[in-house]
Amino acid sequence: MILIDGKKVAAELREELKQEVSELKAKHNKAPGLTVILIGDMVPSQIYVRMKEKAANEVGLKSEVIRYPEAVEEKAVLNKIEELNKDESVSGILVQLPLPKHIDKQKVIETIAPAKDVDGFHPINVGNLSSGYESTIPCTPLGCYLLIKKFEKNLSGKNAVVVGRSNLNGKPMTQLLLKENCTVTITHSKTKDLKGECLKADIIVAAVGIPELVKGDWVKKDTIVIDVGINKTDKGIVGDVAFDEVSKVAKAITPVPGGVGPMTIACLLKNTIECFKRLNSQN
């Protein structure tokens, strides 16, 4: 079994991005800028935003966090996004989810200019990805994709099973695997025989949120297993895959932590740089 070391691959990617940022700064006389909007004081969101800010600074991006109290009016957030859309020093805008109940998530996402939508959640980016056009790809599936490709160059004809159909993970992951000519099965909470589907897979991407759902006897040997799950349990953070069992069978597997998580943040930086390049392509 090969352990797919997301921490190492993410560190290599961040090094490449750092180099690219320094070249872009020299060429355009300005750095790509990432602005994060954080609403309320939920601890996980605070932690994620701090990690994103630190990573952005490390590769030389200009980063800014705009904080609002939980009770902020929706209109104030939308106005700020409109302002950032027009601000030439901002290449990427990210609104940290989840949002307080009184704020309409879809309205917020749709207010972000598609060209600055570093999360790839805007319907224009979602549509472009599913049509095979250039788009910003959501950070976690992009990270999974890069890990798979690092390990296996040619995915054509492989059977891929995506467990979970969220807009954040499962659906964009499916699009990326389809683009690589995989035969993709997307499974979810109503799938009748999840074990049977997983047993046909050459590649499994699990993005469910159920600790250790995918078991050792669900996986055939030679399968690549990518575990997106981050679940807090009594024994610490575990993924959606029963690592101890599955790692005995699979050809390759990502650990949790240290697998997909570090790639998500590195891909956010990558997306910010891609947005900057597209926004400045005429200069």
Task: Just list the catalytic residues.
Answer: 52, 96, 119
At position 213, the amino acid (one-letter code) is L
Pick out residues in 25-54 that bind ligand NAD (CB under 6 A): none
Q: Which two tokens stand for residue 222?
A: 């030679």
Which strand ranges, in their side-by-side order, compose the sheet holding 203-206? 2-3, 252-253, 224-227, 203-206, 159-163, 183-187
CA angle 32, 166, 44 (to 5 degrees): 60
In angstroms, what is the minimal distance from the CB of 283 to ligand NAD?
A: 33
Cβ neighbours, 10 Å, residue 84: 21
Alpha-carbon span 251 to 3, nearest angstrom = 9
Residue 121 has which token pair? 């959640």
Is the CB of 6 or the CB of 72 nearer to ligand NAD? 6
Cα(280)–Cα(283) distance, integer angstroms: 6
User: Contact with ligand NAD (CB under 6 A): which of 78, 113, 115, 194?
Assistant: 194
Closest CA to 7 of 257, 271, 273: 257
Of 141, 170, 172, 255, the residue at the interface with ligand NAD (CB under 6 A) is 170
Span of 34-42, 76-84, 99-107, 203-211 interacting with ligand NAD by CB under 6 A: 203-211
DSSP secondary structure letter of residue 96: P
Looking at the Cβ atoms of 90 and 162, the one nearer to ligand NAD is: 162
Of residues 129-148, those binding ligand NAD (CB under 6 A): 140
Which range touches ligand NAD (CB under 6 A), out of 15-23, 126-134, 151-159, 188-196? 188-196
Q: CA 131, 134, 138: angle at the middle one, nearest 5?
A: 85
Q: Which stretch binds ligand NAD (CB under 6 A): 56-64, 96-104, 107-115, 183-191?
A: 183-191
Whichever of 102 and 232 has its CB closer to ligand NAD, that residue is 232
CA distances from 220 to 31, 113, 149, 231, 237 (A): 47, 44, 20, 24, 25
CB of 93 to ligand NAD, least distance (A): 19
Reference 28, options 18, 36, 20; nearest CA is 20
Q: Is 185 in the site for ligand NAD (CB under 6 A)?
A: no
Question: What minimum distance in Å lies between the beta carbon of 171 and ligand NAD?
Answer: 9
222-261 binders of ligand NAD (CB under 6 A): 228-231, 260-261
Complex with ligand NAD: residue 130 or 231, whichever CB lies closer: 231
SS3 content of the chain, % helix, strand, coil (to 5): 45, 15, 40
Residue 270 binding ligand NAD, by CB under 6 A: no
Q: Pick the binder of ligand NAD from 28, 188, 248, 278 (CB under 6 A).
A: 188
Closest to ligand NAD by CB, 98 or 127: 98
Interface ranges with ligand NAD (CB under 6 A): 140, 163-166, 168-170, 187-189, 191, 194, 207-210, 228-231, 260-261, 264
